[in-house]
Structures are given as C-alpha cells and as structure tokens.
Amino acid sequence: MSVIETRDLRKTYGRVEALKGVSIRVEKGQIYGLLGQNGAGKTTLIKVLLGIVRKTDGEAELLGRPAGAPDARRRVGYLPEDHQFPGYHTGYSLMDFYGALYGVPVDERRRKIPETLELVGIAGRMNSKIRTYSKGMKQRLGIAQALLHDPDLIILDEPTDGVDPLGRREIRELMQRLKERGHSIFLNSHLLGEVELICDRVAILQQGVLVREGTIADLTQQKGRYEIGVAPGQAFPADAVIKLGYSAIPVPDKPELFEVSLTEGQTIDPVIKLVYDKGMQLRHLVERKQTLEDAFLATVEGAEPGVDTRPRRPRAARQVGGRDRK
Amino acid sequence: MMQFYAILKDSFREAIDGFVIYLMIGLSLLLVVILGSISYTPDAATDALPKALGREFRLIFPARGASSAPTGMPVEYHATEIEDISNGAKFVLKVGPLKQEADLKDGKPEPQKRVEEKKDEPDMFRSAVYAWREPAGEKIKNPFAKMGAQGKGGGRTKNELEIVTPAIGGPADLRAITDDEMAAFLKYQFTTFVGVDVVKITRRPGIAEPEYKFDVEITGISGARGWPHSVYVLFGAVPPFKGVPLGQALYFIQDVIVNGIGAAVTLMISVVITAFFIPNLLRKGSVDLLISKPISRVGLLVYKYIGGLTFIFILSSISIGGVWLVMAARSGSWSPGFLLVIPVLTFTFAILYSVSTLVAVFTRSAIASILVTLGFMLCLYIFGQVKSFFDLNKIAAVTELPEWSYTLVDSLNTILPRYKDLDKLTTKIVVDNTMTEGQARLTGIFTEYPSWGGAVGVSLAFIAVMLALSCWRFIRRDN
Ligand SMILES: Nc1ncnc2c1ncn2[C@@H]1O[C@H](COP(=O)(O)OP(=O)(O)O)[C@@H](O)[C@H]1O
Ligand SMILES: [Mg+2]
C-alpha cells in the first residue's frame, strides 16, 4: 500500500505556479526524500498533503485517504520548516499539548513524553521554557513532537536544518531506527549528501516539476566516466580517442585532464593502450563515481534557478513580521 | 473534549506567561484589600432614626406592597425617647399629618398630595394605611410628559413611568382600620425602607387623633441597608463618612468603583493581553503545525476564542469574588447577587473578544485588534449613553427629538450587542443586593431595565456572526 500518492498535482498561489502536475508514490516502510532547490515546491507538496493549503488541481492521497482528511492526519507526524513553537511552553508541556490534540491518553503521554525526548536527546531540558532552547534543540523537539503519537507516516520538512553535523548524524540514525520500527518517512531536503545516506528513494523537484524519480542507485548509476591525465608537457590525444569511438572532453577548470565516457560494452583499456602506444606516460586515471549531487546538478544544470527568484517579498520579512506571504 | 481542554490549558499557559497578568492580579488583590479595609458601623439610633424616617419612609406601595408603583401621603414620622439597645433601638414613634407642604423632593413628584388637601381633612395616617392595604387607584402615566413638552416618545416603551393614585377610603373605611393594621403597615415600612426588623410595635392609647404614638422596638440595624452607617476607610486612618445608609455605601463601592471603573479597566487590559493570542496562533511557523493536527480549523479557532475568555473569567473571579467576600464580611450583608457580575463581565468581554478575533484573523496583527476593539468598545459606550438618554426622554420628555432619531437609535440597538444593557443589568443586580427593597423599587421606576433575554440574545447573535466570519476567513486562507 502506498502512504502517499499524488497524480498530476497542481498548486498555484495567485500567479506563482508552485506545483505543475506532480505525480509521486511513496510505499509503506520507505524513507523517501524529496529534493529540490529553494522554491522548488517541496514544502507546498507537503502542505497540500496535510490539508494546510488546498490543491488547485489533480489528486493527492495520504494513507489512502484524500489529502487533508482528519483521520489521515491523525496517523501522521509532521515537522514543518521554520517552525516557531510558542515560547511560553516547556518542551514537556508542548509535547503534552500536541499529544492531547492527537488524542493520546494522559497516562500514555506521561510515559511517552520523557521517552521520546530522551530519544531525540533533549530530555534533560524538558522542563525549561522553549524560548531558552537553541535552534538545534528546537529542531529536535520538533522531531520529537512528530513521533509522540506513534504515527504511521512521518513527514519532515528540512529535518536537519540548523542542527550541527554531529546532531545531523544522530538524526539520520534516528530515522533509520524509525524505519526499522516500521514507520514510513517522507522528508524534504536540499542537503543532498544527507539524503543520499539514508533515503531508499528520491524524487527531484525543479520549479514545480518532477524531473527525476527513483532509487538512489538508479539516480547515481554509473555510465562509466573517467578522468584521464598524462604527464606534464604531453598533450592528451583526444582526437585519436574520439576516433576509437569514445567521447573525450576537457574537464572544466582542469585543462590538463580529459573526461572520457564509455558507451555500452566499452572498457577503458583501449584508451590506456593508446596512450602508451603514443609513448606518453599516464599520470592520472580516476573513475568518476557519480554522487547524488552530481546527478542532481546534472538534472538541474542549465535550468533557471528555482522559482524562488521570482520577485516577491523578501523572505526575512515573512519570518520576522510573523505574517505570511499573502 | 480532550482537545478542547488541551487548548484551554494552552491559552491559560499563554495568559500566565507574561507579567501583566500578575500585575492585574496584584491590582485586584490591592483593590480587595482596600475595600476590605472599609468598615461599616451602624450609627446610634439618635442620629440615625430621624434620617431613616425621612424621605422615602412616607412613600406607599399599595396592595400591601404588591403594587410596584408608589404613591404618597402627607404623613410625618418622628422618633422620640430613643434608647439604643444592642443591634437595635427602642423608641416612641410619633405619627401625624405633615405640617407644611413639602415641595417636589429630588424632582420626584407627589402630585396627589395637593389633591388630598381638602378643607375637612380626613385622617392622613389612616388614609395612608388604607392606601397601603387596598389595591392602587388610577394609574398616572408619564406625569412629566403632561407637565413638560408632550413627549413624542410617549407610548413607545412598555416601562413607562407610572405613579398611582392612592385608593381613597370613605370616613367609615378609615374608621374601620384597626391598630393591628396600623402596626402591620409600619412594620412593612420599616422592613421596606430601613431594612430592620420590628420586634415589637404597640399603639399607645390616649393620644388624640390624627396624632398617633407607637412603642417600637427594632433589631438588626447592623447590616440593615437603609440604616445610616459610619464608613471607615483604610482601617479608620481617615475620618469616617457619617450617616450614609449602608445600602448606598455598598452600592457606590460595588457599582461605581468595582463594576464601573474596575470593570472598565479590567476589560481594556484584558483586550490588550488577549489580543495577542490569535495572531500568535496564526503566526507563520505555528499555524501550519496546529492545523496539521487532527482538529478542524473551526474547532481550533473557537476553542482558542473560549480560551481567551477564561483569562478574564479567572481575573474577575479573583477580584469580584474577593471584593464580595471582604465586603460581606465587613458589612454583614451576604447576598450573593454581586457574584453574578463575574459571568456578566465575562460575557461582556466575549462580545469584545469576538471583534478582536475577527480583526486578528483578517490582519494577524495584535495591534490592529487592540485598536479596533478598544474603538468598538468606545463606540458601544457612547451609543449606550445616547440610548439611555433616548430612553429617559421617552419617560421624562426632557426635550423634543425628531421621530427619525428614535427609529435610528432603536434600529442600531437591535443589531449592536447590548454592552450598555449588560451594564445596566449588573447595576440592577447590585441595586437589588445593596439597597433596601423600597429604594431598589424606586430606582427601578426611573430606569428602563432591559430584559436579560434581549441583552444576552442580541449579544450572542452578534458574537456568533463575528465568529462565523472569522471561521470563514480562517478556513478559506491558504497558508
Ligand atoms: N503562501 C504562499 N503564497 C504565495 N506563494 C507561495 C506561498 N508559499 C509558497 N509560495 C511560492 O511557491 C513556490 C514554492 O515554494 P515552497 O513550496 O516553499 O518551496 P520549497 O519548499 O521547495 O523551498 C515558491 O516560489 C514560493 O515563493
Ligand atoms: Mg521548503
């Protein structure tokens, strides 16, 4: 069963088209990552799923129910981006408040709140006012409140935002553990390295359009690309290599290196042989392993920056003024 | 239910987060202490009785008090041979016809008096007892209207000023009045206008009519609402106010100071503090999380609204409850009616807060909410004053006003929440709980008391409309 499914989902805010027909499907038990630049529409997708904003067109289902249905929301934990918890709460009382909104019984809250806060590592400060928390602690609290009611699906919008590297690793481990316990996780991020480490599947959103989707392996699949360099003073025989049926292009910024790509069935050996035959010395040979970042950059290369650059109110004004974009 | 309780608790946390609430509670407690410092000592009967027997004591509510409209008889009451006993007094009450014609007192008319002055004067005291015992005679509506401008407003209100003519007894009827009936009448006058109990009252034989003498013993003067008291403020640090009927002192404190100034200040400060609740709720970063919870937006907003009301409820419970407690302990008058001010004040605030909520949902600005709400409060207040004037004008025809102005005022009154009405109703509660029965009735004649149903109903409808608009906007918004 899929926990999230959208078909040709569209959302426009006034004149801004934030989602232009997005279809994704997230299976139960997965950690699914949604990638994209700022303004790509990732947060909008989540908000549509949770009924925070209304979709303009298309279909969106959450846990088999239409997006926004209260009974589906009950089984979802959500960490919003840029969240601001009321400062008058303590970590404990906030969890208690949210737990009650989810209908978690009193005894269970009493038992689970310290447990959950322990899990995210802020149990020691749970009786201090939130306004005394650091950004990282607030983020951990945010994750904790999304876990308290033992949801089937956990939706995290930029979960590692504002957390130090060590904390990030802890959060990644936490997600892994949650997955093992059978929770499905859907996360938004622009931190590709991170996503690569934990996600089973990813989708890349670009200006409201889904441009790639698949497992990490699918996206980072090797096509066989090598960086080759010969000894200084010698010129790499690019033309001869091309004649052999390879592509050879200079690596940008490193004029002494060439990138040689193989096609189906080819190996790099004939190229090495050619170099030796020409009496040159091979000094550099590296197989270029594609990271998710490469894959991502390859996808978005040449594309305009995110929709985010369209003229609108400066971002800071939204946060400080406490008012929304409209 | 769990969600409702959770949001109430959350609002409560929010309310007690700032220092302002503690400041408010501190001020309330200070008020309680100051009012608690006031003591009320009944004046000695020698000083008090002449005052208590003047003025209203002469008025008569016919049909043994069943008629709410008063009438009067020119009878004079004097106390002599006054003897103070513990919590009471013994004295001889001299009754006789009023010597010289008193003019209109305080603008209160006793137009019948002149009618009664005939050559062969009947016995005034017996006539008074007769008028008290029998049902009232003819009703005179709006006596002022007849004297002044012919009130255009006449006949538009159900509560017209009404004075009745006394039932006139023939010589035989007056003769037939027994001593027991006279005693019963005087007893009634003492309870109604002085608020004391008559333990013993016997007519002295051998006094030539139309003069009468009664041996009277009264009790229960401490706490008697019509009995003049000395009022000591600040534990007696300043010289006392002497000779104030207890009821009037209590009325002044409860209605003018607590229910008037105190309530207005409380309302305004509460408007300011609670104005932040909903904008905070709607703040970006906070609202998304809340509406992702399995709670409807309407529920969220309405619960939060009610949460704002708990704020003033707590505050007024502390202050009104405290004031009531200390004043009751000090004055010995324990009638609980004053406590009704708590729900009424909360309800009044509910009206204001619905406006604040609406503005908050549309603008998400606490400042805008505060300004609009305080402005609205001021408008309601001004309108309330205008309405009162129009109402009085209907009764007393002070000045002539064009017909359309009545229509305008009446139609505005139909749609606006009854802020002033609620105030009048609490005033009525206070009057009924502080003043003697007689005085309370007299006050009632000059004030057109609104109905609870109308005041609460129209205000509730107004609140419902405000909340419905707020919810509509909140549901429609795309965060
Ligand atoms: N409430 C809103 N009103 C108008 N435009 C919005 C609103 N929310 C988001 N947008 C626009 O929609 C686009 C997608 O935004 P968002 O979903 O927040 O992107 P991401 O989360 O990927 O950074 C952006 O261009 C953003 O400016
Ligand atoms: Mg985002």
pLDDT (tens digit, 9 = 90+) per residue, A126-157? 999 999 998 888 999 999 999 999 999 999 99
Query: ipTM higher than 0.85?
Result: no
- Give the C-alpha separation, B470 to B306, whole Å: 14
8 Å CB contact of B3 and A47: no
Chain-centroid distance, C-alpha B419: 15
State both tokens at B22: 């503690």
8 Å CB contact of A84 and B294: no
Q: What SS3 class is residue A224? A: coil
B17 chain-A contacts, CB cut-off 8 A: 87-88
**Alpha-carbon distances, residue B220 vs A123, B42, B191, B197, B245 (angstroms):** 65, 10, 10, 6, 14
Does A320 score more than 50 pLDDT? no
- Give the C-alpha separation, B222 to B87, whole Å: 6
Indicate the top mutation candidate among A37, A38, A43, A50 to test ligand 1's pocket, ranked by most ligand atoms within 8 A of CB.
Answer: A43
- For CATH 3.30.70, list the domain ranges present in chain A: 222-289
Nearest by CB to residue B285, choosing from A50, A82, A102, is A82
| Tens digit of each residue's pLDDT (9 = 90 or more) over A218-243 | 777 666 778 888 888 888 888 888 88
User: Ligand 2 centroid vs A218 CA: distance in angstroms?
Assistant: 25
Q: Nearest-CA neighbor of B298 among B478, B467, B460?
A: B467
Compute the nearest-CA separation of B286 from chain A (Å).
Answer: 5
Residues in chain B: 479
Cβ pair B448, B159 in contact under 8 A? yes
A52 chain-B contacts, CB cut-off 8 A: 288, 291-292, 479
- Give the C-alpha separation, B243 to B249, whole Å: 10
Residues in chain A: 326
Provide, rounded to the nearest whole percent, the portion of chain B with pLDDT above 90: 16
B299 chain-A contacts, CB cut-off 8 A: none
Q: What residue's CA is closest to ligand 1, atom 26?
A: A39
Give, in degrees to the nearest 5, the angle at Cα B223 between B432 and B242. 100
Task: Count Cβ–Cβ pairs < 8 Å, chain A vs chain B.
Answer: 91
8 Å CB contact of A54 and B283: no
Does any CB of chain A come closer than 8 Å to the CB of residue B213?
A: no
Q: What SS3 class is residue B8? A: helix
Q: What residue's CA is closest to ligand 1, atom 14?
A: A41
Does A167 score more than 70 pLDDT? yes
Ligand nearest to the CA of A203: 1
Q: Which CATH number fits domain A222-289: 3.10.450, 3.30.565, 3.30.70, 3.40.50?
A: 3.30.70
8 Å CB contact of A52 and B364: no
Ligand nearest to the CA of A40: 1
Q: Give the start-to-end residue ranges of the domains of chain B.
A: 2-40+237-476, 44-226
Strand partners, A26: A4
Does A294 score more than 80 pLDDT? no
**Alpha-carbon distances, residue B252 vs B179, B228, B316, B430 (angstroms):** 39, 14, 19, 9
A2-218: CATH number: 3.40.50.300
Compute the nearest-CA separation of A204 from chain B (Å).
Answer: 24
Can you give the pTM of this predicted structure?
A: 0.78
The closest-lying atom of ligand 1 relative to the alpha carbon of residue A324 is: 1
Ligand 1, CB cutoff 6 Å, lining residues: A 13-14, 16, 18, 36, 38-44, 307-308, 312, 324-326; B 478
Which pLDDT band holds residue B4 (cuts at 50, 70, 90)? very high
| Tens digit of each residue's pLDDT (9 = 90 or more) over B275-305 | 999 999 898 888 889 989 999 999 999 999 9
Query: Which residue do the tokens 């005052």 mark?
Result: B51
A318 chain-B contacts, CB cut-off 8 A: 284
The whole-number pLDDT of residue B389 equals: 81
- Give the C-alpha separation, B43 to B26, whole Å: 34
More confident residue, B143 or A43: A43
E-state strands within chain A: 2-13, 16-27, 31-36, 57-62, 65-66, 76-79, 153-157, 184-189, 201-206, 209-215, 225-230, 247-251, 254-261, 282-287
B280 chain-A contacts, CB cut-off 8 A: 86
State both tokens at A226: 């090598």
8 Å CB contact of A86 and B5: no
- Annotate B86-121 with DSSP letters as a single string: TTEEEEEEEEEE-SS----BTTB--THHHHH--SSP
Indicate the top mutation candidate among A9, A20, A49, A308 to test ligand 1's pocket, ranked by most ligand atoms within 8 A of CB.
Answer: A308
Choose the most confident range, by mean pLDDT, from A109-118, B32-41, B181-190: A109-118
Does B422 score more than 50 pLDDT? yes
State both tokens at A261: 């790509």
| Tens digit of each residue's pLDDT (9 = 90 or more) over B429-477 | 888 888 888 888 877 776 667 788 888 888 899 999 999 999 999 998 8
Which pLDDT band holds residue B249 (cuts at 50, 70, 90)? confident
Does A306 score more than 70 pLDDT? no
- For CATH 3.40.50.300, list the domain ranges present in chain A: 2-218
Compute the nearest-CA separation of A178 from chain B (Å).
Answer: 21
The whole-number pLDDT of residue B467 equals: 96
| Tens digit of each residue's pLDDT (9 = 90 or more) over B121-179 | 678 888 888 888 888 776 666 555 444 444 444 444 444 556 677 778 888 888 888 88
Ligand nearest to the CA of A19: 1
